[in-house]
Amino acid sequence: MTSMISRALIGALLASLALPLAAEPRELEWMELMPQEEADAWLQDSANVDHSGFGAPEPFQSFRTVPELDGLEVRIPGFVVPIETDGEGNLKEFFLVPYFGACIHVPPPPANQIIYGRLEEAIPMVNIWDAFWMEGTLNIEDVSNDTAASAYTMDVSRLELY
């Protein structure tokens, strides 16, 4: 009888070890959101930007994405550009951008360098001067509004200070 219980316990222990552990989200760098040839072209184009305020350069735009990232749980740092709030001024939807002032700076980043974040529940408005980690499920989906266009969205599970 003891031997049978021991085998059952050992079997249960081995079965529990075979269960996958909750995977940590993959930490992304912004350039990973672009196919390599797009990243090279954007970096080359960005090297010629004049920040003096005289003359606006032609913005580099690309909606090309990396299909392998669709549906992955990821974590990426960036800056919040508020888009939608609830009736009490709490943040509901926003763009996450790779550098401060990206959607008001000339030129804006390409669509594949902007992520449209959707929070399941609104949170108190964040300070747009601060950098944040955004975590959740990354999706390939085009979203455009008067502020910017993005080639990715995220169902945000966590937004925390960087």
Digit-coded pLDDT (tens) for 66-106: 999 999 999 999 999 999 999 999 999 999 999 988 766 55
| CATH number for the domain whose boundaries are 27-45+61-161 | 2.40.50.870
Residue-level pLDDT at 119: 97
Look at residues 76, 68, 65, 2 and name the one whose alpha carbon lies nearest to residue 38: 65
- Determine the 3-state secondary structure of 161 from DSSP: strand
Look at residues 107, 100, 114, 104 and name the one whose alpha carbon lies nearest to residue 63: 114
Residue-level pLDDT at 2: 53
pTM of the model: 0.79
Residue-level pLDDT at 144: 93
Residue-level pLDDT at 43: 81
What's the distance, Cα to Cα, between the start and end of the chain in Å?
56
Look at residues 23, 129, 127 and name the one whose alpha carbon lies nearest to residue 71: 23
- Please give the structure tokens belonging to residue 42: 């954007």
Digit-coded pLDDT (tens) for 21-77: 568 999 999 999 999 998 888 788 777 656 565 655 567 889 999 999 999 999 999
